Amino acid sequence: MRWQDIDGLGHVNHAEVLNYFEEGRDAFLEKCGVGPADYVVGRCEVTFIKEIKLESKIVSVDCVVSEIGNSSFRTREEIFNDQGELLVEASFGLVMWDRETSGPRPISELERNAMSGKDTQ
């Protein structure tokens, strides 16, 4: 967390929370062979449960793929503090993206297996 993330009310601005989710999601999806330029966000829904203040200690931004379609998938994401308290939860609808055609592309079998936790070897 950075000083500039804090708004006039003394807590992390809601827009900055989306950056935290993005960083956590990108780290998770990189392990699945999906880079940040491989998908676009089609939908996001965020529920703020507790304030995140400058003195808060964010311990984890957890991400799990909850649903996989043909070219899109959904994630469930959560931010926890050092007390194990859930601070923010979100779900994102993500679409695999073909940069050459500027449109959706199918999720490969390798990506699908990695995102679903199946052995890909």
Segment 74-120, tens digit of pLDDT: 999 999 988 899 999 999 999 999 999 999 999 999 999 999 886 44
Number of structural domains found in the chain:
1
Q: Is residue 59 part of a domain?
A: yes
Q: Is residue 26 part of a domain?
A: yes
Separation in Å, CA 20 to CA 13, 27, 72, 116: 11, 11, 21, 23
Q: Residue 70 is part of which domain span?
A: 3-115
Neighbours of 17 (CB within 10 A): 20
Predicted model pTM: 0.86
Q: Is residue 107 part of a domain?
A: yes
Q: Is residue 16 part of a domain?
A: yes
CATH number at residue 27: 3.10.129.10
Q: Is residue 65 part of a domain?
A: yes
Mean pLDDT rounded to a whole number for the chain: 89
pLDDT at residue number 9:
78
Q: Is residue 120 part of a domain?
A: no
Q: Is the pLDDT of residue 121 over 50?
A: no
pLDDT at residue number 102:
95
Q: Is residue 121 part of a domain?
A: no
Q: Give per-residue pLDDT as tens, 1-36.
A: 665 777 777 788 888 899 999 999 999 999 999 998
